[in-house]
Amino acid sequence: MRIDLLLNKLCLTKTRSIAKTACDKGLVTINDKVAKASSAVAPDDIIGIKLYGHEHILRVEKLPQGNVAKKDAATYYELISRKPISE
């Protein structure tokens, strides 16, 4: 699954276009490598996201097959850390 689709399906970004823009600006990493919007994600990958004033590090537990309800989104990943971005 593409990283921009995953971020949108798991409600980590508000829209897919925001996820794509974040990837284009280098704000998203997969296993410590800057991710393009079309980069593939697999279970157990570590994703880093710098959005909305925080840096999130999470591990993908499993990939969704279709749309995911917002209340169920957290079952697809494990949040490792969340800290404010210091400017």
- pLDDT digits over 29-42, tens only? 999 999 999 999 99
CA atoms within 13 A on the CB side of 76: 22
Q: What residue ranges do the domains of the chain occupy?
A: 3-84
Please provide the average confidence, as pLDDT, over all residues in the chain.
93
pLDDT above 90: residue 66: no
2 DSSP 8-state letter: B
pLDDT above 70: residue 87: no
Neighbours of 54 (CB within 10 A): 12
- What residues contact 44, with CB distance under 8 A and at least 6 apart? 59, 60
CATH architecture of 3-84: Roll (3.10)
Tell me the C-alpha distance between 33 and 51, whole Å: 17
pTM: 0.89
Percent of the chain with pLDDT over 90: 93
Tell me the C-alpha distance between 76 and 13, whole Å: 15
